[in-house]
Amino acid sequence: MRFYVFLLLLASLLWGSVGDVHAQRRLSYRKWQLVFSDDFDTYRNVADMAARGPWEFTPGEYRTLINNQYEDSYYDSAALQLANGSLHMVAQPLPEPIVYKYHYQGRDSSKVLHYLGGWLTLKEDFATNALLGDTSRWTGNKGFQYGLFEIRCKLSPGTGLGPAFWLYSGPTEIDVLEAEHPRKASNNVHYVPKDPTQNKALQQIYDYKEPVDLAQDFHTYSAVWTATEVSFYLDRQLLRTVTTDQVPTVAAPAILIANMGVSSYADTNTWPGELGQKKAPFVIDYIKVYKSREALGNRLREVKAAVKAAEKSKK
């Protein structure tokens, strides 16, 4: 805005600066194109979801996070329920502890697991779409490279639980949401290359006071991942930005993961009871991925130019 009186000009510049900062802190969808969405309301049941959906329900070949000493979850589709147009990941104590045996890096090992947990990740054969700019960088690399990643969900009451939504791609891990309590949530960017001396991570923990309770209603947790930074949002309001100078990310597609884990220090006395059994639901309304409209336009022009060049070379 321009004013011909200096004082009005100065006032407008000051107001414009504050307004721009405020606008930048709020997530706008105008420059984003939805490319992936699941709102979990089209499946008849979990078996139908397994057959028709893009998801699998265990972390690869294992049923627990084997290298996490605090992880005490046996992941199985039995923890998943579909109700009221949402996916419920219901953590609960196992009828009897399971001695889970596994083989890792040439060694046989085992963990004693006490809880059933829910896991959701992209299927092994998920098709990475080069038209979206998502080109696999190595065998098995799949998912989405850069974009706006989002989950709308409701946490569960109780402590020692681990509802989470995150992106993973080799050295890069972006935790859009991790929570150990309905008033304590965090986000994180990890860089874990082959050389462990180069590991980096930058976590931010948010302690919310009453009346805020993330288990009482649905909230939207988002992350915008670009080549230069990762920005985190809660209900479209900017929480913070981590630049690649602080923690690097690798330009490769990342898989989507949502899970409801249980830690070894969980207190089931704080969980809601159902028919005498302690259960803790992590309720997911939807998971979405958006791509930059500008990036998609540039990619489409690149593809058209390549096709045109190929056709010209044949003449």
Would you give per-residue pLDDT tens digits along the chain (315 residues)? 333 232 323 233 333 333 344 445 899 999 999 999 999 999 999 999 999 999 999 998 999 999 888 899 999 999 999 999 999 999 999 999 999 999 998 999 999 999 999 999 999 999 999 999 999 999 999 999 999 999 999 999 888 999 999 999 999 999 999 998 889 999 999 999 989 899 999 999 999 988 889 999 999 999 999 999 999 999 999 999 999 999 999 999 999 999 999 999 888 888 876 556 689 999 999 999 999 999 999 998 988 888 887 777 876
What backbone torsions phi and psi does residue 84 show, to the nearest 5 degrees? 55, 40
CATH number of the domain that residue 270 is part of: 2.60.120.200
CA distance 14 to 9: 9
41 within domain boundaries: yes
Check residue 274 and give its pLDDT: 58
Q: How far is CA 278 from each of CA 236, 266, 310, rounded to the nearest angstrom?
A: 33, 12, 62
302 within domain boundaries: yes
Beta-strand pair 184-191/147-154: unpaired
Check residue 221 and give its pLDDT: 98
5 within domain boundaries: no
- How many domains does the chain divide into? 1
80 within domain boundaries: yes
Check residue 276 and give its pLDDT: 60
178 within domain boundaries: yes
Cβ-based burial of 215 (10 A; exposed 0-12, middle 13-18, buried ≥19): buried
pTM above 0.75, yes or no: yes
Domain span at 149: 31-309
315 within domain boundaries: no
267 within domain boundaries: yes
Check residue 13 and give its pLDDT: 32
55 within domain boundaries: yes
